[in-house]
Structure 1
Amino acid sequence: MDFLQGLKGLQGLKGLIGQNQPAQQPVADTDDDFADFAAAASPDPSPVSIPSAPGDALPGSPIGTVVAGSAVPYTAWYRVWERTSPADFYMEMMVIPFILVAVAIHFWGVSSNKRRAKKWMAVHQPILESEFALVGFHRQPKIAPIPEAAQGGAKFLDSCNKLTGANLADDLIKEKTAWEFETYASGRQNIAFADFKIVLKRRANPMTLLTEEAAGLFFESIKPKAERLDAVIYPFDGNESNFVVPAVPGSAEIDKANHQRIGNSTYDAFVLAIVDKMEMRRFREERYDASLTFTKDNAKLPEWATTMSESAEITDTILTKDLVDAIKSADRLFEYLIITDQPVEKPIRLEETAPKKRIHLSVKLPSDGNYAPVLPLFQQFLRLPDLLVQSAHFRPEVTKKINKLREEEKAKLKKISDKEAEEERLKQLDKVKKEERDRKMKGMSAEEQRKQTACNNSPDLCSETYDSVTYLGAHDSPFVRDASTGFSTSGDQYYNTTVQLDAGVRLLTAQVHDSNGDLHLCHTSCDLLDAGLLSDWLGEVKQWMDGNPNEVVTVLLVNSDNQPSSALHSRFEEANITSYTYTPPSTTSPPAYGSWPTLSSLISANTRLITFIATLPDTPSSAAAYLLNEFTFLFENSYSNTAYSDFSCTPDRPSSVQGDTSAALSAHLLPMINHFLYQQELLNIEIPAVDNITTTNSPATSPQGTLGQSAAQCTNEYGGRNPSFLLVDFFDQGPAIGVVDRLNGVTQPVGRKAVPPRGSSAGSEGSSRSETTFEGVRELVADVRDGRGKQIKLGAWIWAAGKWSWGGLNLSGGDVVS
């Protein structure tokens, strides 16, 4: 009883410690993953005995070895047949046959082309060896040539045609690609060497072949050519000494004994082609030399062939009976035969025009391997240089005609070459200038550097095209109202041209007159105000441009006495200013708006002077092409204004656009605004109005008549396009330059110089005029006394150079003299 109770007590103790309790059931959860994990059997790790010492530990089993209780190790290939099926290899089973077929076709195509090339070489080898000492590559020249009896006749050619090429030497022909093969021959009189190329179909690449054939059905330009032979002979043309080994002692006597001469293989240069009419169009398009010829049928040739020749005499000489019979034998396998000395590609450099005589033959290869029809032509082709050396020496008239055409082509290329050389020279010059400029700028201040990088006084204008910039113009620039002219009221400016340019004026206008056989700058008449020689004034402009290399200047000359362009050009040459002149691509029509060069490009090219003439009686020569007819490029509003209400933006000249602003802008003419007034004096004489000049030139946009108001009005009427030129009197007043800066968006101009003060103009002018009262009359009386009175015009008596005053009133206009 006690034993049983003790067992129960022991079981109660186990229950207390949880040993006899059933395994706890997993608690269900909404998360399936955790539920699966909870449902998994609890691992039952076996105790592992820990060795008491490192030496007692057993070595571990290598990976992949069989472990006790495991029959087969598990690897990637473990029972692979159970994890794969034939369906897994359907893609490979579909692709591999195509690959095998493509490889088979490739090897078939390569071997097929090799057989055809060897067949051609075998058939033509005897003919080549009968003509040349060396045929093929890396071969020794033959010692004994083929007997002449075996070289000609039908039997010889028939025997050649039967050859198959089974035992052909490997060095006779070379495989360039799987469809192109080449061979070579040299060692013949009159021929330096000959190249032969066999072009076959791309049988090794059927996809390319099919694509070309299919595309050729729709596009003639990419239609593949038939299998063919392209052969080129390079004659000696008298240059045997460049190819033949130098003579050894005694060779001259041997040559003389054998009646052999070296250097007699020359013939006249010409181009003659015999072409299949079906190939004629492509032939002319692909070859430059063929473009020098004219096409004409010849009665000797079959109907399907024609000639392309430079002379009928050449054609008659070359078309021998043997050659014509050979062409007829080849029939439609014949493509073309050309004798030429000109390049195939159009030359783009002068050195490419050097004559290089060649003879080309192109024939189709027969598809059945029967070369009998073309062998006579091939043989005649190899012997053609002998005919040329013997007969191709033509009459001087023929060679003169041929040479004339070649010289014309050379002249065109020389002109292009000279232009490219000049451009390269200018490029190098610009590079040197840039390096020099960079060197100088390193030691300059920021303001000085900004001036150096400016174009027309502003860096912002460098990228602007010439036509998109507005320029301030000095009306009658050389006609100055200062002490040098006795303060003539005929003067339109207070300061000379140099001061004008320094202050920002970039358009200079002047009137040109013929005075005693030379060209002078005169205001209306040289008796009224003569500013001196045109060449001297241009020299002043040139001197200023020399010292201001970043400025673009425009000159407009009124050709009052209708002088020819050659006379004007000579004055530009005297001033040495032609190097600065710019000539647009066309002198008969203006560039489209925005197509003019930028100021920076004009400066870089150093073509910074644009010259307009109103007007030219003739077309300038190429040397004077920079003289541009004003009304081809510009239009003007009215210039004869006496009141502010007369100012208008409507075109007045040229007559073709008179009153039609839309037509003027559509023609891309540059707008020039004449903004100056005249005032009438005694005898209805008009002189520049100076009384209200500050208002006239004012940059203010009101009231009516200011320069600022007129510019804004014209910009609006021109659809937002600013006027290109604003032409004013007394440019320093206003100041007029403010309007130009506003239109150009220039806020910080650099490099301008302030005009020097004129001092007390009223006092100095009044004193000058008082002291010179009647001075002009006295000068005229002196001229009459000296016998020059017949040359004096009435206008001179009236104006007296602006110095005739009476009763304190300046009759030439201006202020009252006290």
Structure 2
Amino acid sequence: MLRFSSISLLALSCVALLATKVLADELEDVTGDISPPSAEPHINPTSQMVSPQLLFANYKIEAFLLSVAVGLVASYFYGSRKNKELAMAWEKPISDVLYANFSLVGDGRQAFEWDSAADILFYASGRRHCKFVQGHMVLRARQDAVALINDLAANTQEKVEIEVTLSDGESSGFVFAAVPRKRSKAIGRDRYDIATFTKIVNNNKVSPKVAIFSESADVTTQLLESGLGDILADENTLLEELHVTDSPSEKPESHDFKCEKKLMAVIRLPAATAEGLAQFKEMLEFVFYLVDYISEAITLRPESMRKLGKAREEAYKEFTRMAEQEKQDALAKTLAEKRRIELEGVDKMSPEQRRKWEEKDRKKQLKKEQSKRVRRVR
């Protein structure tokens, strides 16, 4: 379950190889070159055997490398244990909310599943207005000293990512997002649904650190009235990101892509104190409150619905053309195969039968050409 990251393994391998090389060099310096014995060795009775002195000063590099290796191993086990303690602290509020909202949590025995020493997954299903929820707790890589230094330098926040797949046909389809303003340009560029359907909306009811993407004023107003506006107005809110969408986040590569309505949230993990746990639990409960609010409370005007439908029709034209082209290609392939089989049968006909078939086929082709001309005129 817990494993070394590739960075730590690489570091340990380098330390081991370097230590081996240095030790080999030291031994070579101590023993010197060994020349083959001569036929008549000269023996000096007064000579004495001089043994190398095993002083610590001769092995400073080895001691340093060994200390680094031991430090990495100790860091791995300490960091893994620390992350496990944190996960256990966060498991209770998450489990409480999941068990209160869903009939099946995890595998029925435990809520969390460890994906690595810093990544914990959870799953639940059996709730109104949604099919299931998937969650991912992202902790700092405390088990990996190199990655931990990188996390601290980049000020990487520990967080919980939640993705709720909403039920079909119970809510209007739209795209809405509330994201950190400093990341809004990248998100607006990289996400297909946001780039295709939304634009940034200026709203003085939310913090200036938050950017709102929306495609409908009705959606923006009603979502902010759910209590989301108050949360986004707080500059210290735990809610890092919120997405509601009915379109793929990445541009589809084929026409047979599946559109699912989803609610996605990113919640920052505060310090695991009693107050922090309570704040996090309250925010998680609000996310599932939004699931009900979107399905039951948001009602769009007919003109807004038409606008949303037209936008999707326009955006998906490319994929509609792809579907039509595939149908035409499949039909052409079927007709070509049918023609091939027909011609194989003609080869086996007698001359008289072949003459009659050719006459019949010529009339058929002439009729097709006339039909095409009529369609062009129309």
TM-score calculated relative to the size of structure 1: 0.33
Partner SS, residue 303 of structure 1:
coil
Report the AA paired with residue 238 of structure 2: L
Q: Which residue of 103, 110, 124 corresponds with 1:185?
A: 124
1:113 shift after superposition: 1.6
Q: Which residue of 313, 318, 342 corresponds with 1:407?
A: 313
Q: Which residue of 115, 134, 147 corresponds with 1:208?
A: 147
1:575 shift after superposition: 12
| Superposition pairs of residues 617-766 of structure 1, within 5 angstroms | none
Q: Which residue of 227, 238, 242 corresponds with 2:158?
A: 227
Q: What is the aligned partner in structure 2 of residue 135 from structure 1? A: 105
Contact 1:289 1:344 in 2 (8 A): yes
Q: Which residue of 193, 200, 206 corresponds with 1:295?
A: 200
1:92 shift after superposition: 4.1
CA, structure 1 residues 428+208, in 2 after alignment: closer, same or farther (shift >3 Å)? farther
Report the AA paired with residue 362 of structure 1: V
Partner SS, residue 307 of structure 1:
strand
Q: What is the aligned partner in structure 1 of residue 167 from structure 2? A: 236
Q: Which residue of 359, 368, 375 corresponds with 2:263?
A: 359
Report the AA paired with residue 255 of structure 2: L
| Deviations 1:125-156 (CA, angstroms, capped at 9, x unpaired) | 323322223333333xxxxxxxxxxxxxxxxx
1:318 shift after superposition: 1.8
Report the AA paired with residue 282 of structure 2: P
Q: Which residue of 297, 306, 316 corresponds with 1:391?
A: 297
Contact 2:209 2:235 in 1 (8 A): no
| Superposition pairs of residues 20-169 of structure 1, within 5 angstroms | 37=39, 85=54, 92-139=62-109
Q: What is the aligned partner in structure 1 of residue 348 from structure 2? A: none
1:118 shift after superposition: 1.8
Which structure has the higher relative contact order (CA within 8 Å, separation 6+)? Answer: 2
| Superposition pairs of residues 179-328 of structure 1, within 5 angstroms | 179-211=118-150, 225-238=156-169, 266-291=170-195, 292-328=197-233
CA, structure 1 residues 109+420, in 2 after alignment: closer, same or farther (shift >3 Å)? farther
Partner SS, residue 250 of structure 2:
coil
Q: Which residue of 320, 327, 345 corresponds with 2:250?
A: 345
1:298 shift after superposition: 2.2
Partner SS, residue 212 of structure 2:
strand
| Deviations 1:328-361 (CA, angstroms, capped at 9, x unpaired) | 4573532211111111111121111x32011001
Distance 2:270 2:54 in 1: 54
Distance 1:284 1:416 in 2: 26
Structure 1, unpaired ranges of 5+: 1-35, 42-80, 140-170, 217-223, 239-265, 432-572, 577-622, 624-818
Larger Rg computed on CA atoms:
1
Q: What is the aligned partner in structure 1 of residue 45 from structure 2? A: none
Give 1 or 2: higher helix fraction: 2
Contact 1:178 1:204 in 2 (8 A): yes
Q: What is the aligned partner in structure 2 of residue 472 from structure 1? A: none
Partner SS, residue 273 of structure 1:
strand
Distance 1:176 1:424 in 2: 43
Partner SS, residue 242 of structure 2:
strand
Report the AA paired with residue 344 of structure 1: S
Distance 1:377 1:82 in 2: 71
Q: Work out whether 1:380 is the aligned partner of 2:319.
A: no
Distance 2:74 2:159 in 1: 25
Contact 2:210 2:232 in 1 (8 A): no
1:86 shift after superposition: 5.2
- How many residues align? The count is 297
Distance 1:234 1:330 in 2: 28
CA, structure 1 residues 104+399, in 2 after alignment: closer, same or farther (shift >3 Å)? same
RMSD, matched Cα: 3.7
1:184 shift after superposition: 1.8
Structure 2, unpaired ranges of 5+: 1-37, 43-49, 338-368
| Superposition pairs of residues 214-613 of structure 1, within 5 angstroms | 225-238=156-169, 266-291=170-195, 292-328=197-233, 331-352=236-257, 354-367=258-271, 369=273, 370-418=276-324
1:200 shift after superposition: 1.4
Report the AA paired with residue 105 of structure 2: V
1:101 shift after superposition: 0.5
Contact 1:326 1:376 in 2 (8 A): no
1:269 shift after superposition: 0.9
Distance 1:275 1:90 in 2: 52
CA, structure 1 residues 205+422, in 2 after alignment: closer, same or farther (shift >3 Å)? farther
Contact 1:230 1:362 in 2 (8 A): yes
Contact 1:311 1:398 in 2 (8 A): yes
Distance 1:297 1:174 in 2: 40
TM-score calculated relative to the size of structure 2: 0.67
Distance 1:98 1:320 in 2: 55
Distance 2:53 2:334 in 1: 75
Report the AA paired with residue 304 of structure 1: K
CA, structure 1 residues 282+111, in 2 after alignment: closer, same or farther (shift >3 Å)? farther
Distance 2:190 2:130 in 1: 26
| Deviations 1:8-35 (CA, angstroms, capped at 9, x unpaired) | xxxxxxxxxxxxxxxxxxxxxxxxxxxx
Partner SS, residue 331 of structure 1:
coil
Contact 2:105 2:125 in 1 (8 A): yes
CA, structure 1 residues 424+187, in 2 after alignment: closer, same or farther (shift >3 Å)? closer
Report the AA paired with residue 157 of structure 2: A
1:230 shift after superposition: 0.5
1:110 shift after superposition: 1.1
Contact 2:175 2:247 in 1 (8 A): yes
Report the AA paired with residue 312 of structure 2: R
| Deviations 1:541-591 (CA, angstroms, capped at 9, x unpaired) | xxxxxxxxxxxxxxxxxxxxxxxxxxxxxxxx8799xxxxxxxxxxxxxxx
Distance 1:283 1:118 in 2: 32
CA, structure 1 residues 182+40, in 2 after alignment: closer, same or farther (shift >3 Å)? closer
